[in-house]
Structure 1
Amino acid sequence: MEFLTTTAQAFAHGGFWMWPILAIQLVSFAIMAERAYALFVRRKTNQTQFALGFEESIRRGEMDAVITKATSMQATNPVARAIAAGAMAAKNLGGKEEVQGKMDEVLLEENAHLDHRTGFLQMLGNVATLTGLLGTITGMIKSFAAVAFANPAEKASLLSAGISEAMNATAYGLIAAIPALVAYAILQNRANRLAEDLNQGGLKVYNWLSYAYDPITSYQIKTKNKSERNTEVNA
């Protein structure tokens, strides 16, 4: 209780700029909570391991099975969207370039989701520090202006009140900035790890589609052409 009372008194003595810092702190807490849930709860670093489950089907040329499985699991596994897009391109005989293009399109979109709003934490941390510094400057200006026209008996109390306001603004600005900057570093590191895992899983699938599915596709085309020629001859 004493801590809360002291904190409330310090906030009240910090001047106008304590309120903008409070707003910055609340916004940064909201971003931290949302990003922590998105990156640590909803996303897991298992996309490469998940992609390994498609190797056998791709090597056998079972594109329909690959597309069906990937589509059913893309809600919880981002790499599944890239697998489905690549398998669809391979099934339509699009070639390596089209397979890569379709998969890259999905991977770029998924990687962009990892960085949503995280960069604001760095900005908010810097703004909180600068706002606290601004509160310090305005507090010092107010105290010296008051002292210049005050009675000698009141100068000490007015000066101490202005310095108190300045120091409270500085302290609160740092209190708001430090968690935001620490959270930014942690969340950015997590996003990088998730992106690496996602891209590695997508690359594995692309390699299987490019180097394992191509020979099967060529064989299927030759077989289909041969069957069509035999049908024409028999007709």
Structure 2
Amino acid sequence: MGPDINALTGFLATGGPALWAIAALSVLTLTLILWKLWQLTRLGAWQSAAAEAAVAAMVARPQARPNARDIRSRFVASALGAQDLPDTLAREEVTRLALRALTEIRTGLRPLELIATIAPLIGLLGTVLGMIEAFQALETSGGQADPSVLAGGIWEALLTTAAGMAVAIPAAVALSWFEGIAERVQTDFEDMATRLFTHASGVKAAA
């Protein structure tokens, strides 16, 4: 364990403060992704069958109510509860409920977006600073610096750019996936709300 820690510390020291910052971002990225997976699983973001069945049952039997606790079923139950309000107020209430649920499901996406944006920039900054140091050393030596030493300084500088990309790419992929899930939930909300209001309008017109 000791040699591994020393090797990791030496590797991070090679890239300077920028690499330390990127390492911290990598830990934060992994934590956010794992937490977001847990949250989406808890909310039932991949479950839509129960809510679809609830809408179909409500259309067939107006007194039906969903029993499942996934995010779509909870939205349907809340939307059904708003049906007793006047039409305009009911639509406003359903919109409010949908926005509240979507805000919950999008929690944590902004930090991932920020990491995907700044990680490459931090890596580029580290590279620029490393290149400056390498050429300063070349100037100090009067142009007689050992090429191998100069090359070593350059690859150490480029290391931070590679590390920044290595953190930004998974963050961007996870962000895109999570946003896609949120968009599917939003589409389902809109579809279910439209079907419920269409049915309610038909019932009121028939009455």
TM-score by length of 1: 0.73
Counterpart of 2:174 in structure 1 is 183
Q: 1:86 to 1:184 in 2, by over 3 A?
A: closer
CA contact (8 A) 2:76 2:192 kept: no
CA contact (8 A) 1:79 1:202 kept: no
AA at the equivalent of 2:57? G
Q: 1:168 to 1:88 in 2, by over 3 A?
A: closer
**Percent same amino acid among aligned pairs?**
21
Greater relative contact order (Cα < 8 A, sep 6+): 1
Counterpart of 2:31 in structure 1 is 30
AA at the equivalent of 2:161? T
SS of residue matched to 1:44: coil
Alignment of 1:145-224 (within 5 A): 145-150=136-141, 154-212=145-203, 214-215=204-205
**CA distance in structure 1 between the partners assigned to 2:82 and 2:170 by the alignment:** 46
**CA distance in structure 2 between the partners assigned to 1:40 and 1:192 by the alignment:** 16
TM-score by length of 2: 0.81
AA at the equivalent of 2:58? F
CA contact (8 A) 1:129 1:174 kept: yes
Q: 1:83 to 1:41 in 2, by over 3 A?
A: closer
Cα deviation digits, residues 90-149 of structure 1 (max 9, x gap): 44xx32112212212111111222222213323211211011100110000011111222
Give the one of 96, 100, 103 matched to 2:91.
Answer: 100
Counterpart of 2:22 in structure 1 is 21
Residues 1:120 and 2:121 are matched in the alignment:
no
In the alignment, structure 2 segments of 5+ residues that lack a partner are none
**CA distance in structure 2 between the partners assigned to 1:181 and 1:90 by the alignment:** 40
AA at the equivalent of 1:57? R
**CA distance in structure 1 between the partners assigned to 2:104 and 2:95 by the alignment:** 14
Q: 1:110 to 1:116 in 2, by over 3 A?
A: same
SS of residue matched to 2:15: coil
Q: 1:83 to 1:31 in 2, by over 3 A?
A: same
Counterpart of 1:132 in structure 2 is 123
AA at the equivalent of 1:77? D
Deviation at 1:152, TM superposition (A): 6.8
What RMSD, in angstroms, separates the aligned Cα atoms of the two structures? Answer: 3.0
Paired residue total: 203
CA contact (8 A) 1:128 1:177 kept: yes
Deviation at 1:82, TM superposition (A): 4.1
Q: 1:102 to 1:164 in 2, by over 3 A?
A: same
Q: 1:87 to 1:23 in 2, by over 3 A?
A: same
Q: 1:197 to 1:155 in 2, by over 3 A?
A: same
**CA distance in structure 1 between the partners assigned to 2:201 and 2:79 by the alignment:** 10
Larger Rg: 1
CA contact (8 A) 1:10 1:168 kept: no
